[in-house]
A and B are shown apart, each in its own frame.
Chain A
């Protein structure tokens, strides 16, 4: 079976449209980030969360009224879709009090519907700021590492364009989290540690497709005149199009499985990785390689690529 066999798309000609599309994507994400902001999970916000599961179906507003009446202040929302609710409140060291308060209130007033507290998470403010910093550090360090590695393996222009593409991918996902945050009951799309893991996965993987395209360009560009660059870029992208899409496809397949089967705790992560890989595949063709092309065109100097084989 073959998909995208012997294609001849003129990617370079359409790059301006792609730039425009990416800019719109990024701008809408950034506007939403500025206006609406992000939903932070307790990892970064600090606080306590209690996951309550009922035996029978029950309305979220009923539970909310009961907890309000008992004087337990906090917010309650549906968690996943299976009679589970997530109650979140401020952090204090007394999880015992919180737990007994919640379960007494529910036992007293919802006698017919047995409930179970299946999970408790409590994160103090110092831990939350700790987690936030390590997330930022991990992101910066991984982008730097990738920049250095690709710069070492190819050339600085290629590496920079690759890292720009990663930024593009992560910012798009971040923007999407801001736009869609809190809209769906089955996935809260909160920023927490798992989303940082998703970003690092995206960063590590986004460059994969880019490297495949770069590799082909490197293989073919040696000794060629700058006038032929457009043709070489286009041909290289067409030749690698099939593998770019199939490699992303297999990963998308397994992430989709995670999204469907792994439960609400993993859903936000799976969503982020899915979108990130989709965008990453797009950006390796429409952002990374065209940026290198434009850069080479404007600088007018021939490339000195490392590691290209003479064959």
Chain B
């Protein structure tokens, strides 16, 4: 009586699992068949009419269908890091040489380890026997209070960075981007189907810090450069070694042909920078890396006039077939920052050829901008984005409307990207790409082909083997195997997880492992039959006795897969996930399902002693 009840329950369970699996995979099938229909339509109007009339169904099916991973679909996986050292530097006040030295240490340590930047910072201050309140927040705050405040600060920064990057991506237009935070300083960004990776990278990594800064007079620039030149010539021997080490550590120099080293004696600033009659200074593309490293050096910066900074132009001019970058001397304190920008629009300029970005400001910005322009008529104001000067127009008259323009942009595409980043706002701190994996669509198609081929062959090989080796009982194992694969796919689809190439590898491995349970059971049944038991009781005992080994081996495989899922990252998780689902499902399919098949066959006398091969 009990077994009858059990049996009915098992049958119900099998039916329910099959139905749920089919229901979960139905949208995937619809999505596939709809896109097949769409592809079969030849003319554009036909396919447009088809997609319009079936729009709801197409969208619904697509939303609920089994997603393909980035590696199969093609796309970018990025891990970006918010520069917390920079963030903390921004938060500090009365920074002195000591502080700069400490922060340099912190930066070096943070780049080497995965420890929290805040802990490293706190540790460094402790080593120096200094209190954080000397530079951060209020002097009366205890270290713990400051650590807590900075922690909040960095959390906010990460979340703000996430929102801003999401805005940028949304404006750029990527279908189904996934942006998540990890730990205290990492953002994980998944962008399926991105074709122009270069543009996306540029769009993501710029801080978009817009500043309006007053230009110093050309005479001051000329005098400053003279002073720098004297200093450099005096220190040329010492300089040679430092500039070499600078060149080695600068990010791009390892990839580019090294700047030819010049003899130490003849090192003069004017080898690399040319000054024209009208007081403008240029550097060539050839010397650009050197000049960039030069103007970042603190000893050089110390020689500049109070509250000024040397900046290079973002774009180059072609002079005598060589790219020239303009060197500007600007005030360090910005007159106005990008926070006041409310609207940005990429257009073509008055001549209709030069792309530019028009900006509008909020009321506070408008009144400030009017005051600034009014007070500086005839002077030049540089428009600086992320430390590069885009243009430095002469103020013709007071601007009361709060409008401004960025020009000096090469293409409309770039203007559009500027529009996006300006609208989305500036990032609280610089972000860096620390991991990137991008797969082009053609390789993705290769992966899909390889994955499908592996699945098909593995299934054929294993199921044919089971049929040959175990005869009729092999059929039951093969049915269970099909159900197992269906369950894995339906769980992935149902939980909105995506299928990647490692995920397919997990399914292929599952195919080989799922039949193991059947092998163990069948071998035991054969043994019992050899021992003289009748078929029915041999099957009973076989299932009963084999269960312990099956359970143990499933638990060990499951726990290994679970730990892999927990500690693994990205692609490996996909593998661990399918392996876990497959192993767990095979406990059900290989034991419950096959047993029901046997009892169905037994009742109808469709099995004999020979059915187990």
Contacts and interface: CB of A to CB of B under 8 A. Distances in A.
Given A253-B512, A263-B447, A200 B563 contact: yes
Interface in B327-379: none
Interface in A210-232: 211-212, 215, 219
A242 B610 CA distance: 18
A131 B513 CA distance: 28
A197 B436 contact: no
A126 B434 contact: yes
Nearest to A242: B523
Contacts of A124: 81, 432-435
B96 interface: no
Contacts of B438: 119-121
A266 interface: yes
| Contact residues of A: prevailing secondary structure | helix
Given A94-B251, A262-B450, A145 B563 contact: yes
Interface string B97-136: 0000000000000011110000000000000000000000
Contacts of A247: 516, 519-520
The listed residue with most A CB atoms (<10 A of its CB), out of B81, B548, B556, is: B556
Contact of B465 (A126, A204, A253): A253
A246 interface: yes
B567 A118 contact: no
Contacts of B520: 212, 243, 247
Contacts of A73: 254-255
Contact of B523 (A145, A203, A246, A266): A246
A141 B565 CA distance: 12
Given A94-B252, A96-B202, A261-B457, A196 B79 contact: no
A260 B456 CA distance: 13
B519 A129 contact: no
Given A1-B468, A96-B202, A121 B436 contact: yes
A17 to B, nearest CB: 27
Nearest to A134: B567
Given A93-B433, A194-B572, A141 B567 contact: yes
Interface in B555-579: 555-561, 563-564, 566-572, 575-576, 579
A24 B128 CA distance: 54
Given A101-B255, A196-B572, A211-B552, A123 B435 contact: yes
B273 interface: no
Interface in A91-113: 92-101
A205 interface: yes
B439 interface: yes
B443 interface: yes
A96 B203 CA distance: 12
A135 interface: yes
B502 A253 contact: no
A203 B563 CA distance: 12
B567 A251 contact: no
A257 B509 CA distance: 10
7 contacts: A126-B112, A142-B564, A204-B561, A205-B557, A219-B545, A253-B512, A262-B454
Interface of A: 1-2, 51, 53, 71-73, 89-90, 92-101, 116-127, 129-131, 133-135, 137-138, 141-142, 145-146, 149-150, 153, 193-194, 196-197, 200-201, 203-205, 207-208, 211-212, 215, 219, 239, 242-243, 246-247, 249-255, 257-258, 260-263, 265-266, 269-270, 273, 307
